[in-house]
A and B are shown apart, each in its own frame.
Chain A
Amino acid sequence: MFESIPVEVGLVHEGERVRKQDMQVELGGPSVLEKFEIVRVRKMDEIIDGTIEITGPDISEMPEGKATPIGILVEIAGEKVEPDLEGVVERRIHEYSNYIEGFMHLNQRYDIWIRLSKKSYKKGLNSLRYIGLVMLDLFKNELPIIEKIQITFITDPREIQPLYAEALKTYEARDARARGLSDDDVSEFYGCALCQSFAPTHVCVITPQRYANCGAISWFDGRAAAGIDPKGPIYAIPKGECLDAEKGEYAGVNESAKQRSMGEVNRVWLYTAFGYPHTSCGCFEGIAFYIPEVDGFGIVLRSYRDLTVNGLAFSTMADSTAGGRQIDGFHGISLEYMRSKKFLDADGGYRRVVWMPKESKERLAEFIPADVVPAIATESDVHNIDELKNFLAEKHHPVTERWAADAAAAEDAAPQVQVFSAGDIPITTPGFRIILKNAKITAEKVIIQPIRPHTKPGGEHN
């Protein structure tokens, strides 16, 4: 491999940076307005496999130390290659080209920024053709579903212009498709067992509307990976019968979880933090945590270092969340899932979210129903549960409507609560537990009021 390339090609060069004074040429980058890289799926007969074309001046004809416009068009075809995979394949351009010694590739799409080092240029890397050859080799080796591939580098500004405009439209259309794709639109979800190497019972289910917990794998990524290596750690899950549309329970998902977790997890409800919630390994980006006192959720991201409204820090709650278990009310999630319409849908979605760090709230504001935004408290509004209660009441947060209903239900339930049983009596208060062994207690009157109302599913249809 790569014998014809004048410089080394390997993983070791991936993180290389080329500084300004060491660069032979810059392609794209901040000083160039129009630049792009794009992958397009074509019909088999539209591609001449292995072609590399350069339209405009090649590296050796570019002025030293200057920036040049660039467009990279990769056209692929194959029986199993579908337009939905364009984005996934496109991101590999970054990965593959960075393996080339002295070739630095940053960003993606219309934002690319490439530098070639003087050193590699002197070694003979003087043509984009070499870059194309490396990409051809790696694409075909790594993604055997690509049967035909041709690569065009465009450096002539007049030629770039129309293609650039077309690329922008394609990105836009692709994003619209990704945003619009719902779990109902597809017949397959994907599972990821990568984290099982550290958390053996964790199984991640990836759907169009539920990103992997780590935030690194979308449904499209899953589709590509499963298509390329069906026996690999990312695999297709046929949805099967939908058992509960609201909670997100599918026969196929249950079956897959049962197998992959060896019976630890037999049911999965995708859109709720209660009952049979999706498991969490350890690298989730955030936690949705239930706050029983207000019957709502707080959300905290990994980057938030202060205590949250319930007096616990991310690290403390993460400890209760992780490990591939189904934990009621502590739910590991990705940032991308927080942008999904299905986000905790069965529990009420953002209508059930009562507290978020300020920075996260601002970041996610456009995904939160406009009328709820002002009613979600942040660390600058409240510091504890009492203040939170007042804040929510004052702002008429949707959860306050549940309070009255819950109080009534709690009263009904009260007579069934066993007051004291024989043997050990655990008394739980936040932070510690007292166990009374063989203790005799006489009390004229004991009044027990539940502090944690029974949880009922939320959602608009309740």
Chain B
Amino acid sequence: MSRKGVSFRAKEINSDVAQIRDLSISIGAIHEERWDERMGPTPFPSLSTLRSWDHLLLNRYKPFYLPFCDLCCLCTYGKCDLTGTKRGACGITMPAQQSRMVLIAACIGAATHTSHARHLLTHVIEEFGRDCLINVGGTSVEVEAPISRLVCGVKPETLGDLEPVLDYCENQITQLLAVTHTGQEGSNLDFESKVFHAGMVDHVGMEVADIAQISALGFPKADPVSSMADLGLGTVDTTKPVILVIGHNVPPATSIIDYLRTNGILSEVEVTGICCTALDVTRYSDRAKIVGPISWQLRYIRSGVPDVVVIDEQCVRTDTILEAAKIKAPLIATNDKNCLGLPDRTNDPIDEIVSDFVSGIVPGALILDSHKVGEIAVRVALGIAPKRKKQGNLPAKEQIIAFAKKCTQCMLCRRACPNDLPVPQAIKPAAGGNLAPLNELYDDCIGCGRCESACTQKIPVHSLIVGAAEKQTREETFCLRTGRGPIQDVEIRKVGGPLVLGEIPGVVAFVGCANFPKGSREVAEMCMEFANRRYIVCTSGCAAMSAGMYKDEDGKTAYEKYSGAFEAGGIVNVGSCVSNAHISGAAIKIASIFAKRPLRGNYEEIADYVYNRVGAVGVAWGAMSQKAASIAAGFWRLGIPVVVGPHGTKYRRMLLGRADKDEDWMVYDARSGEKVYGGPVPEHLFFAAETKEEAMVMIAKLTMRPNDTSKGRANKLANYIDLHKRHIGGIPPDVHQLVRVVADIPLTMKTEILEHLHAHDWKESPIPDPTLLSRMVHTRRDER
């Protein structure tokens, strides 16, 4: 709030502060400053503001390119072959082109979250007003919007305060996208710096989206014991009318819940969801159920269980309208980003639309009013369920056998499969009545349906797999702790002691989808492995579902077995994709909470702090989308490494450090100003692992930071070495680079490590107070 030309007179003022008589004051301008923290150097940074920080990181972690495509096809001079040292018609090189494509992907990701945030914010402001207060954790959260504070230098208090933050994001994404025009940027590293910028902006957008929905829709507020929700195909009560919501933007789904509540029929209709809308609707009502991540879209629709399909935006299969039509379930599109060619019925009378759907006259419609969607979806589900009788199109055993007999073993399905699953080998025995091998594919299948498109015999291959696993799908009865939102400031304070005393080795965040074969199971296994090892484990988005889709020998899921608090051995589900901002936010809050570093517009200093001190690692085991690219980039700019599964190489380049080059790992010791060797930690910024085992060893290694106390480093090393011994074999060859002083050696491994150190001519090196920024070198008070 700013005002100009204010004057006022007062005859008499009495207050606790002062007693004033006949006072007249005129003031040129009033600028309301509700935040007394001094503005830092880089509020609302532009494309190049943080370039030098990016280049510091990129010089350590040089892009290692894995071209997904050798050509550039973006302008009419092309296609240009960029292999070897060739340049394109515009002069571009292969590295620059690869990084350019990454920037385009990151812009798509950032734009997706930001436009989602804008849609959501506009919606909740319409509903609750600009003055609706932000509340993400009551008295337990002092730093309510760490990323917005850090990047923009603002401290939002109301929903309206979030609008200028989104203005900034939209402005930056437009500029970033402009960079990718032909002949606009030539250096691969500058493209990468802009990728980082897109990632940072993406985290701002995500933070706005989740703050808005937590505050306005009453989601759990930094609650470590948020309620449990059902998860899995087998939890759906198929005797009731069933609504399926798919996507990432929750208002239509909450309107469905509202309509059911208002009419007292919440228990009569099943609200089920896929992807982040499912996660977010369980934060609104724990009666809603989560079916699974994107891989479940085809199989769930084909099961015939949903009576109405409501889609919003992002990660919605574009053939959903065709699939829904096959089971005679009407489809409602609700977002102008995803109209699917459907007629716009937003302004038609509700009764008319309901009647058209129930009678089957129209297969789908676009309705851009979430309140209307709430009522229509419920009334259509109630009306159509008795007629549809859960008609699905999954084949029964005899049909599977009949289809299997048509197979010519041409192998095209296997070639089409992103995971190279042995589909023909499983279909062959099915022709003879043995469905077990097909059933075995179920867990590994990511449900993309490419096998069906490839099949020359028109065999519905995916349906065969799901049909063969019919019994297994009914047993998918899991649960998940609903998304809790931010980490409490108090929780961060509590883990400070255990972190420096070496009782918590680090923070591992499992984010994004889990599409790698056995993705879900492996994410769940890794979560439990690290929780057992007393790491703090965070989950979000589809990985949060995956973490819950597996039971231990006692029949318990990870969320039942481990605490939901941000503590040693906790498994903390922060929420949907946009809740990822709370994970980076927690890392940022550490700097504010322990070192009282000012956050306001102070990105570089805080990133330097997080990079050198906060032992956090992100894992996107089956990342699929462009959103994952921008989410990861936001972590990189903060200096947080990310590990991906093997498909992650399709993000076109890794950011790998060279542990063999001592000169790459020099840091300033902030105490003395000297440049000293800080060790190759964290060794990589972006790393693709081939297997779960390799990933776990790498995760343990990447939690190390140059500031680790000896107790902390000993604990990290103990886990790294133990995992390496179990999964790769023997003591890791680089232990001598990671032990700085004898006290770093894990005490149960002392003898063997001392032998290793001796064999590698190891010398003690001091533990620095590390920084990459010369300006952060400590100056004595009297010299300032």
The answer to whether A197 and B140 have CB atoms under 8 Å apart is no
The answer to whether A12 and B751 have CB atoms under 8 Å apart is no
Chain A residues whose CB sits within 8 angstroms of the CB of B495 once the complex forms: 283
A428 to B, closest residue via Cβ = B17
Cβ-defined partner of B709 (8 Å) among A2, A194, A281, A433 = A194
A220-247 CB mask vs B (1 if < 8 Å, else 0) is 0000000001001100000000000000
Q: What is the total number of residues of chain B having a CB less than 8 Å from a CB of chain A?
A: 71
Cβ-defined partner of B769 (8 Å) among A2, A200, A429 = A200
**Cα(A9)–Cα(B718), bound, Å:** 11
**Cα(A200)–Cα(B17), bound, Å:** 38
Q: Given A302-B490, A438-B28, is A263 in contact with B781 using a C-beta cutoff of 8 Å? A: yes
The answer to whether B748 and A281 have CB atoms under 8 Å apart is no
Chain B residues whose CB sits within 8 angstroms of the CB of A417 once the complex forms: none
Chain B residues whose CB sits within 8 angstroms of the CB of A263 once the complex forms: 780-782
B747-760 CB mask vs A (1 if < 8 Å, else 0) is 11111100000000
How many cross-chain pairs have Cβ atoms below 8 Å apart between A and B? 178
Stretch at the interface among A32-40, A171-179, A318-326: A318-326
The answer to whether A198 and B17 have CB atoms under 8 Å apart is no
Chain B residues whose CB sits within 8 angstroms of the CB of A197 once the complex forms: 500, 613, 707-709, 712
The answer to whether A200 and B595 have CB atoms under 8 Å apart is yes
**Cα(A307)–Cα(B139), bound, Å:** 7
The answer to whether B402 has its CB under 8 Å from any CB of chain A is: no
The answer to whether B17 and A264 have CB atoms under 8 Å apart is no
B242: shortest Cβ distance to chain A, in Å?
39
The answer to whether A447 has its CB under 8 Å from any CB of chain B is: yes
The answer to whether A437 and B21 have CB atoms under 8 Å apart is no
B487: shortest Cβ distance to chain A, in Å?
12
B267-279 CB mask vs A (1 if < 8 Å, else 0) is 0000000000000
The answer to whether B36 has its CB under 8 Å from any CB of chain A is: yes
Cβ-defined partner of A198 (8 Å) among B19, B21, B23, B613 = B613
A11: shortest Cβ distance to chain B, in Å?
4
Chain A residues whose CB sits within 8 angstroms of the CB of B19 once the complex forms: 445, 447
The answer to whether B142 and A315 have CB atoms under 8 Å apart is yes
The answer to whether A437 and B747 have CB atoms under 8 Å apart is no
The answer to whether B77 has its CB under 8 Å from any CB of chain A is: no
B672 to A, closest residue via Cβ = A262
Cβ-defined partner of A10 (8 Å) among B18, B597, B613, B749 = B749
Q: Which of A25-59 contact B (CB under 8 A)?
A: none
The answer to whether B595 and A199 have CB atoms under 8 Å apart is yes
Chain A residues whose CB sits within 8 angstroms of the CB of B143 once the complex forms: 319
Chain B residues whose CB sits within 8 angstroms of the CB of A214 once the complex forms: 496-497
Cβ-defined partner of A11 (8 Å) among B139, B613, B709, B722 = B722
Cβ-defined partner of B490 (8 Å) among A194, A314, A439, A449 = A314
Chain A residues whose CB sits within 8 angstroms of the CB of B36 once the complex forms: 433
A337: shortest Cβ distance to chain B, in Å?
15
The answer to whether A198 and B534 have CB atoms under 8 Å apart is no
Chain A residues whose CB sits within 8 angstroms of the CB of B661 once the complex forms: none
Chain A residues whose CB sits within 8 angstroms of the CB of B746 once the complex forms: 10-11
Chain B residues whose CB sits within 8 angstroms of the CB of A449 once the complex forms: 18
Chain A residues whose CB sits within 8 angstroms of the CB of B27 once the complex forms: 436, 439
Cβ-defined partner of B594 (8 Å) among A99, A283, A316 = A283
Chain A residues whose CB sits within 8 angstroms of the CB of B490 once the complex forms: 302-303, 314-315, 318
The answer to whether B501 and A141 have CB atoms under 8 Å apart is no
**Cα(A94)–Cα(B563), bound, Å:** 23
A282-312 CB mask vs B (1 if < 8 Å, else 0) is 1110000000000000000011011100000
The answer to whether A448 has its CB under 8 Å from any CB of chain B is: yes
The answer to whether B139 and A305 have CB atoms under 8 Å apart is yes
Chain B residues whose CB sits within 8 angstroms of the CB of A451 once the complex forms: 16-17
The answer to whether B546 has its CB under 8 Å from any CB of chain A is: no
The answer to whether B778 and A198 have CB atoms under 8 Å apart is no
**Cα(A195)–Cα(B670), bound, Å:** 15
B689-715 CB mask vs A (1 if < 8 Å, else 0) is 000000000000000000111111001
The answer to whether A2 and B748 have CB atoms under 8 Å apart is yes
The answer to whether A75 has its CB under 8 Å from any CB of chain B is: no
**Cα(A198)–Cα(B500), bound, Å:** 8
Cβ-defined partner of A443 (8 Å) among B20, B590, B748 = B20
The answer to whether B141 and A315 have CB atoms under 8 Å apart is yes
Q: Given A1-B748, A194-B709, A263-B782, is A319 in contact with B532 using a C-beta cutoff of 8 Å? A: no
The answer to whether A198 and B590 have CB atoms under 8 Å apart is yes
Q: Which of B24-75 contact A (CB under 8 A)?
A: 24-28, 33-34, 36
B733-763 CB mask vs A (1 if < 8 Å, else 0) is 0000000000100111111100000000000
The answer to whether B780 and A432 have CB atoms under 8 Å apart is no
Chain B residues whose CB sits within 8 angstroms of the CB of A370 once the complex forms: none
The answer to whether B594 and A433 have CB atoms under 8 Å apart is no
A262 to B, closest residue via Cβ = B778
The answer to whether A264 and B493 have CB atoms under 8 Å apart is no
The answer to whether B22 has its CB under 8 Å from any CB of chain A is: yes
The answer to whether A194 and B595 have CB atoms under 8 Å apart is no
**Cα(A14)–Cα(B746), bound, Å:** 13
A438 to B, closest residue via Cβ = B28
A19 to B, closest residue via Cβ = B554
Q: Given A198-B590, A200-B595, A323-B594, is A142 in contact with B747 using a C-beta cutoff of 8 Å? A: yes
**Cα(A197)–Cα(B710), bound, Å:** 10
The answer to whether A262 and B501 have CB atoms under 8 Å apart is no
The answer to whether A408 has its CB under 8 Å from any CB of chain B is: no
Q: Given A283-B496, A325-B596, A433-B36, is A229 in contact with B743 using a C-beta cutoff of 8 Å? A: yes
The answer to whether A439 and B25 have CB atoms under 8 Å apart is yes
The answer to whether B748 and A10 have CB atoms under 8 Å apart is yes
Chain B residues whose CB sits within 8 angstroms of the CB of A264 once the complex forms: 781
Chain B residues whose CB sits within 8 angstroms of the CB of A198 once the complex forms: 496, 499-500, 590, 594-595, 613, 707
The answer to whether B569 has its CB under 8 Å from any CB of chain A is: yes
**Cα(A11)–Cα(B501), bound, Å:** 14
B302: shortest Cβ distance to chain A, in Å?
41
The answer to whether A216 has its CB under 8 Å from any CB of chain B is: yes
Chain B residues whose CB sits within 8 angstroms of the CB of A436 once the complex forms: 25, 27
Chain A residues whose CB sits within 8 angstroms of the CB of B718 once the complex forms: 10-12
B105: shortest Cβ distance to chain A, in Å?
35
The answer to whether B596 and A324 have CB atoms under 8 Å apart is yes
A1-13 CB mask vs B (1 if < 8 Å, else 0) is 1100000011110
B631: shortest Cβ distance to chain A, in Å?
25
**Cα(A446)–Cα(B320), bound, Å:** 74
B30 to A, closest residue via Cβ = A434
Chain A residues whose CB sits within 8 angstroms of the CB of B773 once the complex forms: none
Q: Given A198-B613, A200-B769, is A316 in contact with B494 using a C-beta cutoff of 8 Å? A: no
The answer to whether B780 and A11 have CB atoms under 8 Å apart is no
**Cα(A318)–Cα(B533), bound, Å:** 30
**Cα(A281)–Cα(B17), bound, Å:** 33
A320: shortest Cβ distance to chain B, in Å?
9
Chain A residues whose CB sits within 8 angstroms of the CB of B499 once the complex forms: 198
B725 to A, closest residue via Cβ = A10
The answer to whether A120 has its CB under 8 Å from any CB of chain B is: no
A247: shortest Cβ distance to chain B, in Å?
22
- 13 pairs, CB–CB < 8 Å, chain A vs chain B: A194-B501, A195-B500, A215-B497, A216-B501, A262-B780, A282-B493, A307-B139, A314-B139, A323-B597, A436-B27, A440-B25, A442-B23, A443-B22
| Beyond A12-B532, A432-B33, 19 additional pairs, beta carbon < 8 A | A2-B748, A10-B722, A10-B748, A11-B715, A12-B722, A195-B496, A200-B670, A200-B769, A263-B782, A283-B493, A303-B490, A307-B139, A314-B139, A315-B140, A323-B596, A324-B596, A433-B33, A440-B26, A444-B21
| A contact set with B: CB distance below 8 Å | 1-2, 9-12, 14-15, 99, 138, 141-142, 194-200, 214-216, 229, 232-233, 262-264, 281-284, 302-303, 305-307, 313-316, 318-319, 322-325, 427, 429, 432-433, 435-449, 451
In the A-B complex, the 6 residue pairs with the smallest Cβ-Cβ separation, listed nearest first, are A323-B596, A283-B496, A313-B139, A282-B594, A198-B594, A315-B142
